[in-house]
Amino acid sequence: MTKRLFVVFSFLVIASMLLAACGPSGAAGGDTIKVAILAPLSGPVPTFGVSTRDGILLAIEEWNAKGGVLGKQIEAIVADSQCTADPAVNAANKVIDQDQVHYIIGEVCSSASIPVSEIAEQKGVVQISPTSTNPSVTLNPDGSTKQYIFRACFIDPFQGLVMAKFALSQGKKTAFIMYDKGNDYVLGLAEAFKESFTSGGGTIVGEEAYTGQDTDFSSILTKVAESKADVLFLPDYYNIVNLVATQAKERGVTSTIMGGDGWDSSDLDLAAADGGFFSNHYSAEDTRPIVQDFVKNYSAKYKDENGNPKIPDALATLGYDAANLLLAAIEKAGVDDPAAVKDALAALQYDAVSGTITFDAQHNPIKSAAIMQIKDGKVVFADSIAP
């Protein structure tokens, strides 16, 4: 090779390496900031996925209308992660490896967010779950905090304490607990309720496990009826609550049924769950202007199947809050670099719809819980409990 040819050749090699480093999509120098949304749009709890996605998209739309973040428009990449570990892991690998996102909002369900968090932490991708309340989402098995993982919601030990305190304050002295033994969220919340209820002076008179595939709960419910427990604690998602609450009525169960945020769905069977209570992250009846503005904007954008404005549930609200937290942290970091953004998030204070958020050392926000009651075909605000 002549000297001149060698120079030209070297130049071409370096130029192609530079091009490859910039990447075809999304890496440094891309035109947009990509944000992945991992949400259960199909599977057992589709209302969770739709609400979460819609809340996130509203926030992104508002930021884009104001000029985006770091001078770039925000591009949402939506993946259906089904509230289940394997599809969620596949979705996470796809958005990280193929789409080259630096940021993930999701999953909704703890059993899906926990395995995703291990991948995001290892690959240095910032993950913020809007709604996953199990402590392990942000913690390593040794109890240390995962550096890249955050959430926009409170955690289950608090939620369990809130419901136990509320039950005791209502004069309830005995409780029967039913739980899905394969669901991290259900297991953790059942455990938290049990601890707080007994340490507050209550008695657990029965505990029965089932699986997420079960549809007939009659043998357990016969035991619940015989126990005459004041409370049936059922910390599962709405699809299971609908089945159990319906069958409980048929079996003559008189216990007040109580649960957690997993009840929050437009598909909760209000007739079956009548008289029940659950803890939640927010109430659309909250009169703070930030809440009412959000309710107004969300209802203007999204309609139900009959064309009526949708009222945002807690999932929509936390999706909206999680997106705002992430984008505010990117802006504060001043650079599209997850290592800098995770530090900005950890130090952020942000006025969100679900409350003013700062993160504790375990990347959990400290926030109040709302207690909701199902009464006369409606879900109404019953109480608010501060940490």
Does residue 282 belong to the site contacting ligand PHE (CB under 6 A)?
no
Cβ within 8 Å of residue 337, ≥6 positions away: 102
Distance of CA 69 to the CA centre of its chain: 23
Among 299, 327, 322, residue whose Cα is nearest residue 65: 327
Does residue 149 belong to the site contacting ligand PHE (CB under 6 A)?
no
List the x/- string, 45-74, binding to ligand PHE by CB under 6 A: ---x--------------------------
Question: Could you tell me if 52 and 39 are in contact, meaning their C-beta atoms sit under 8 angstroms apart?
Answer: yes
Among 273, 280, 193, 188, residue whose Cα is nearest residue 233: 193
- Total residues contacting ligand PHE by CB under 6 A comes to 14
In the list 38, 58, 109, 232, the residue contacting ligand PHE (rule: CB under 6 A) is: 109
CA–CA dist 227, 234 (Å, integer): 15
Does residue 108 belong to the site contacting ligand PHE (CB under 6 A)?
yes
CA–CA dist 325, 60 (Å, integer): 11
Q: Which residue has the tokens 């199990």?
A: 134
Does residue 278 belong to the site contacting ligand PHE (CB under 6 A)?
no
Does residue 240 belong to the site contacting ligand PHE (CB under 6 A)?
no
Does residue 82 belong to the site contacting ligand PHE (CB under 6 A)?
no
Does residue 180 belong to the site contacting ligand PHE (CB under 6 A)?
no
Does residue 354 belong to the site contacting ligand PHE (CB under 6 A)?
no
Give strand pairing partners of 145: 139
CA–CA dist 151, 132 (Å, integer): 7
Least separation in angstroms between CB 267 and ligand PHE: 12
Residue type, 45: V
Residue type, 293: D
Does residue 352 belong to the site contacting ligand PHE (CB under 6 A)?
no
Q: With CB under 6 A as the contact rule, which of the stretches 25-33, 35-43, 132-140, 355-363 interacts with ligand PHE?
A: 132-140
Q: With CB under 6 A as the contact rule, which of the stretches 55-63, 89-97, 127-135, 360-368 interacts with ligand PHE?
A: 127-135
Output 63 or 277, the one with its CB closest to ligand PHE.
277
Distances 38 to 133, 291, 340 between C-alpha atoms, Å: 16, 25, 22
Does residue 197 belong to the site contacting ligand PHE (CB under 6 A)?
no
Question: Could you tell me if 116 and 148 are in contact, meaning their C-beta atoms sit under 8 angstroms apart?
Answer: no
Least separation in angstroms between CB 181 and ligand PHE: 15
CA–CA dist 310, 55 (Å, integer): 11
Least separation in angstroms between CB 261 and ligand PHE: 4
In the list 82, 110, 127, 138, the residue contacting ligand PHE (rule: CB under 6 A) is: 110
Least separation in angstroms between CB 262 and ligand PHE: 4
Site residues for ligand PHE, window 249-268 (CB under 6 A)? 261-262, 264
Give strand pairing partners of 278: 259, 372
Question: Could you tell me if 91 and 357 are in contact, meaning their C-beta atoms sit under 8 angstroms apart?
Answer: no
Can you read off the two tokens belonging to residue 334?
């001043």
In the list 101, 272, 315, 352, the residue contacting ligand PHE (rule: CB under 6 A) is: 315
Output 272 or 372, the one with its CB closest to ligand PHE.
372
In the list 81, 84, 117, 132, the residue contacting ligand PHE (rule: CB under 6 A) is: 132
Least separation in angstroms between CB 190 and ligand PHE: 13
Question: Could you tell me if 186 and 165 are in contact, meaning their C-beta atoms sit under 8 angstroms apart?
Answer: no
Does residue 359 belong to the site contacting ligand PHE (CB under 6 A)?
no
Output 230 or 261, the one with its CB closest to ligand PHE.
261
CA triplet 373, 376, 377: central angle to 5 degrees? 85
Compute φ and ψ for 18, nearest 5 degrees. Answer: -65, -45
Residues that bind ligand PHE (CB under 6 A): 48, 108-110, 131-134, 185, 261-262, 264, 314-315
